[in-house]
Amino acid sequence: MALRNGGLQRKQREGEDTPTMRRRLQYQMRKRGILETDLLLSTFAAEHLGQLSRGEMQELDSLLSNIDWDIFYWATGKTRPPPQVCSMAVFQKLREHARRRGESITRMPDLDTPSTSKE
Contacts 24+ apart (CB under 8 A), 48-54: 48/93, 48/97, 49/22, 49/25, 49/114, 50/22, 50/114, 50/115, 50/116, 50/117, 50/118, 51/114, 51/116, 51/118, 52/22, 52/90, 52/118, 53/118, 54/18, 54/21, 54/118, 54/119
> pLDDT by residue for the chain (119 residues), tens digit each?
444 444 345 566 778 899 999 999 999 998 888 888 999 999 999 999 999 999 999 999 999 999 999 999 999 999 999 999 999 999 999 999 999 876 564 555 666 655 554 55
pLDDT of residue 30: 87
pLDDT of residue 13: 75
pLDDT of residue 80: 96
